Amino acid sequence: MRKDFADLGKTEWTLLNICWKKGSKTSVKEIYEESLKEKIRSYATVKTMLDRLVIKGYLQREKFGPIWLYTPEQNQRQVVSQAIDDFIKTVLGDNTIPFFKHLVENRKKYQYDLEDLRNIIKKIDEKEDK
């Protein structure tokens, strides 16, 4: 089922990334403490946002004694891929050139080598030629 990824805010993306990084069954406390590396926020805010991510279908939640454990419900690669597709369609009007131009012009900021991008394009070209 396709999700509308535009309904995710920056903090929700941060919390999802933490959950994906941690893997499975992560406590609110662990997620909260990891989130503090990015920005100071309250424990209650993190708990509320995690519960919203459960309602939206991105996380599963289960009670283990007095604590809640959260597990990713959606595959990171699929969610990120769809979010990029949504961004390109909505923000860039289906024109990918500004996206790639930005990446190339800011390659040091995004910590990749231009040669890596060339190799990716080469592999795509080889697949299309087959």
Strand partners, 63: 68
Q: Residue 97 carries which side chain, given as an amino acid letter? A: I
Angle between helices 28-35 and 10-22 (to 10 degrees): 120
- Give tens-digit pLDDT for 25-45: 999 999 999 999 999 999 999
Whether domain 5-72 has CATH 1.20.810.10: the reply is no
- Give tens-digit pLDDT for 40-67: 999 999 999 999 999 999 999 999 999 9
Alpha helices, DSSP H, located in the chain: 10-22, 28-35, 43-55, 76-90, 97-105, 114-129
Provide the residue ranges of all domains of the chain, joining segments of one domain with +. Answer: 5-72, 76-129
Tokens describing residue 52? 């919203």
Residue carrying structure tokens 């080598």 = 113
